[in-house]
Structure 1
Amino acid sequence: MNLSLNFLSVAKMATDDYIGFTFFVGCMAMMAAAVFFFLSMSSFDKKWRTSLLVSGLITFIAAVHYFYMRDYWAAFGESPTFFRYIDWILTVPLMCVEFYLILKVAGAKKSLMWRLIFLSVVMLVTGYIGEAIDPSNAWLWGLVSGAAYFVIVYDIWFGVAKKLAVKAGGEVLKAHKALCWFVLVGWAIYPLGYMAGTPGWYSGVFGGLSMDVIYNIGDAINKIGFGLVVYNLAVQSSENK
């Protein structure tokens, strides 16, 4: 019965419903990526399997949430903010874990991982407050969220993570740099979505954009892209043995 209802809700989507389209494509793309990463694990050395497992978990969790977000949008025509932040509170810290996992070969400590996780949680919780709980002060909560984001950027580009990547050298350094670019450029997509969906001094500039389309595109680029960087690192490391 539930499956038939889900099918009917998708079937009723208008042909020009571009937001619904990105939800549907995001769901399928994340699930396909998760299957790919899970099946790839057995092809590489044990030291890379955990990284690939995390990549698979990131995209699988996202696929499940996109399934619900797609149906929520189809049923109510509203942004599924609650489901989206549940997805992010699970997947974004896991993306931070990827930095620790690839840098373990250079002696990365768990303190680095927990620092990045903590900053990511602060970034997401304050973002949720500004978007769903206290939108009248969205600019303030967005400022706090942005500050946590920029600390993450500093840590991975110039801090301990950078030094460990340089120490590891080779393919690990290349992979770390690629992940850094995803955080700097790819994650910068999300503030645009935040400003498009919340009131503030920026409304006149970003108010005409679709928050959900921006978020959906950002999720697909970042979550799948993170996993592909880790997969390429595993491939290159195996070939250079």
Structure 2
Amino acid sequence: MTVELLQPTDVAGGTYSLALVGMLGTAVLLFLGTGWVSRQWKLPVALAGLVALIAAAFYLEAREAWAAAQHLPVIYRYIDWLVTVPIQVLTLYFFIAAVARPPVGLFWRLLVVAVVMILARYMGEVGFMHPTLGFLIGIVGWLYILGEVCFGKLGEINSKSASETVQTGFFWLRLVVTVGWAIYPLCYFIASFAGGIDDAALSIVYNLADFVNRILFALIVLYAALRESVSTR
């Protein structure tokens, strides 16, 4: 078996390795963290760790593909997103469920919308549907998720929470979903409607963005869970 080595000037390839190490470290930390937090916080912490672990598996495979061809087909990222984005959305649900139980119907709506959002973007980007339609469905799905976490039932429960730690943690999680996740439709728009983007530049942007969208997201969940667990003991 031949192992492709990264070249010293391959900055994009280096970001794949950097993200791989970061995701593995985050996954280990979060899984260890499930033993440090109280019972109601174990599930959101474990889900955040699962996202990091799946992302690490993606980066391991993607790094090899990049080193071999200096190109990463979009199917790699969409397979990863199709699994991890719904889990992250449900992490938000269970983060709030640690202090008050949201409606079960909201669980299923968030899950379905997250899956449809990713599938629509994929189908639009590879030509299975019109790129504009895929872009618009993706935007609507993202806005629906933002609406639920900011102004819907999740946001309402958070605003009524007596815990300042939960409110602060959820504020930062919403900020990640609002600002950090904006990179995905932006890159989609550039790739589909604005003349495209260089593969290396796109890889660097996506890989570094994951330090916010996945690693920072996970650390916020763990930090809030630890603070709440200590305060209730």
8 Å contact 2:138–2:185 — kept in the other structure? no
Q: Which runs of 5+ in 2 are unaligned?
A: none
1:26 touches 1:63 (CA, 8 Å); kept in 2? yes
Tell me the alpha carbon deviations over residues 109-133 of structure 1, each in whole angstroms, 9 at most, x when there is no partner. Answer: 2222221111111110011112223
Q: How does 1:55-74 map to 2 (within 5 A)?
A: 55-74=48-67
Q: Which moved more, 1:54-63 or 1:143-152?
A: 143-152
Aligned residues: 229
1:190 paired with 2:158, answer: no
**What residue number does 1:120 align with?**
114
Q: Is the 8 A contact 1:123 1:145 kept in 2?
A: yes
1:34 touches 1:56 (CA, 8 Å); kept in 2?
yes
Coordinate RMSD, CA, aligned:
1.8
Bigger shift: residues 26-35 or 103-112: 103-112
* Distance in 2 between residues matched to 1:169 and 1:127, nearest whole Å: 38
Aligned to 2:204: 213
TM superposition shift of 1:41: 1.2
Task: Pick one of 102, 112, 115 that aligns with 1:108.
Answer: 102
Q: Which residue of 6, 13, 17 corresponds with 1:20?
A: 13
- Are the aligned partners of 1:194 and 1:211 in contact in 2 as well (CA < 8 Å)? no
Which shifted more, 137-146 or 148-157?
Answer: 137-146
2:105 and 2:162 map into 1 onto residues whose CA distance is 21
User: Which residue of the other structure, out of 195, 217, 228, is the alignment partner of 2:219?
Assistant: 228
Match status 1:151 vs 2:152: no
Alignment partner of 1:166 is 2:153: no
Task: Indicate which of 6, 10, 30 corresponds to 1:37.
Answer: 30
C-alpha contact (below 8 Å) 1:89/1:121 kept by paired residues: yes
Q: CA deviation at 1:93?
A: 0.5
Residues 193-233 of structure 1: CA deviation (Å, up to 9, x unaligned):
2233x232x33xx7468222222122221111121111111
Instruction: Indicate if the aligned counterparts of 1:31 and 1:60 stay in contact, CA closer than 8 A.
Output: yes
SS at match of 2:34: helix
**Conserved 8 A contact 1:190-1:214:** no
| Alpha-carbon offset, residue 59 of structure 1 | 0.1
| Residue of structure 2 in register with 1:95 after alignment | 88
Letter in 2 for 1:58: V
Aligned residues: percent identity? 31
Distance in 1 (alpha carbons) for counterparts of 2:24 and 2:36: 20
Say whether residues 1:78 and 2:71 are aligned partners. Answer: yes
How far apart, CA to CA, are the structure 2 residues paired with 1:191 and 1:217?
A: 16
Counterpart amino acid of residue 203 in structure 2: D
| C-alpha contact (below 8 Å) 2:86/2:114 kept by paired residues | yes
Name the CA distance, whole Å, in 2 between partners of 1:110 and 1:162: 15
C-alpha distance in structure 1 between counterparts of 2:133 and 2:101, whole Å: 38
